[in-house]
């Protein structure tokens, strides 16, 4: 089985579980909004610090091919990668999906469990419960070997809001709600978050990927990458636009290292 077959099998496995470019959910995080302050005050929430500008992908244990594959986010700068983990046969046969990202030390950080032994734990179990249960079990059956894996794999660390330290210059805060089937919230200092300069670009609706996915193009016809869409209002405006190619107003989003669409030109 060549690399393209392995990536295709992993992509289809993610899609069957509702994740990735072909699923209903592209990722587990969204940007923090003012309305989320209520949740911080009343809900049980943990937090973590993560690198600025780094998007999460997926680490999938694909039962169809009994292989572990990292699939990057759509707008990510990394490539799909097969990772040879020492795992027992029963886990290779039942499968799992983790949300994961690469840090500056080229370590793969597992940050959440989405599917465990074929069960969608992200949608069924509170965060603390699925994280403790699944990662404890993974730790007991997985034999880490950086040489075989080709990288170091470790678990993300979480703190209470009271014990959270101030993020560094190249870090952002991610708030993790306890409730199942609930997206995380990424917060960064809005005074440093985005450039205020606006521009006008062409966008192309990437129908093959999904109805709300747009690529940004320069006036010279150069593809600049997948656009970031921050607000629901902007998403709705783009979704109902009649054309598949049209001009939009953009600004540069430092957090996601992408052009953010802020309106139709």
The answer on 118 and 8 residing in a single domain is yes
Q: What is the DSSP string of 2-45?
A: -HHHHHHHHHHHHHHTTBSTTSSBS-SEEE--GGGHHHHHHS-E
The answer on 231 and 115 residing in a single domain is no
Q: How far is CA 240 from the centre of its chain?
A: 25
The answer on 250 and 165 residing in a single domain is no
The tens digit of pLDDT for each residue in 133-158 reads 999 999 999 999 999 999 999 999 99
Q: What percent of the chain has pLDDT over 70?
A: 95
For residue 255, give its domain range. 193-264
**CATH number of the structural domain spanning residue 205:** 2.40.50.140
d(CA 14, CA 96): 10
The pLDDT score that the predictor gives to residue 196 is: 52
The tens digit of pLDDT for each residue in 184-230 reads 999 876 554 444 578 888 988 887 776 678 899 988 888 888 888 87
The tens digit of pLDDT for each residue in 52-70 reads 888 899 999 999 999 999 9
The pLDDT score that the predictor gives to residue 195 is: 46
Q: Which two tokens stand for residue 37?
A: 């302050």
**CATH number of the structural domain spanning residue 14:** 3.30.470.30
Residue at a domain's end among 187, 203, 235: 187
């Amino acid at each position: 089985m060549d690399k393209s077959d392995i990536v295709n099998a992993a992509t289809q496995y993610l899609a069957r579980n509702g994740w990735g470019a072909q699923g209903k959910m592209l990722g587990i995080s969204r940007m923090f909004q003012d309305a989320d302050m209520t949740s911080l005050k009343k809900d049980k929430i943990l937090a973590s610090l993560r690198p600025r500008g780094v998007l999460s992908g997926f680490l999938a244990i694909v039962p169809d091919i009994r292989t572990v594959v990292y699939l990057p986010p759509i707008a990510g700068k990394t490539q799909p990668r097969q990772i040879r983990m020492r795992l027992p046969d029963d886990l290779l046969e039942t499968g799992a999906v983790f949300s994961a990202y690469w840090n500056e030390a080229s370590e793969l950080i597992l940050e959440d469990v989405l599917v465990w032994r074929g069960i969608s734990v992200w949608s069924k179990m509170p965060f603390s419960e699925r994280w403790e249960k699944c990662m404890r079990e993974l730790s007991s059956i997985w034999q880490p070997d950086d040489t075989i894996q080709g990288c170091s794999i470790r678990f993300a660390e979480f703190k209470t809001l009271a014990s959270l330290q101030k993020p560094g210059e190249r870090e952002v805060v991610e708030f993790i709600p306890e409730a199942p089937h609930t997206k995380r919230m990424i917060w960064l200092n809005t005074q440093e978050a985005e450039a205020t300069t606006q521009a006008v670009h062409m966008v192309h609706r990437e129908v093959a990927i999904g109805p709300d996915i747009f690529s940004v193009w320069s006036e010279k016809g150069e593809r600049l990458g997948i656009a970031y869409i921050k607000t629901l209002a902007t998403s709705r405006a783009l979704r109902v636009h009649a054309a598949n190619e049209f001009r939009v107003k953009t600004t540069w989003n430092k957090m996601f290292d992408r052009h953010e669409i802020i309106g139709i030109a």
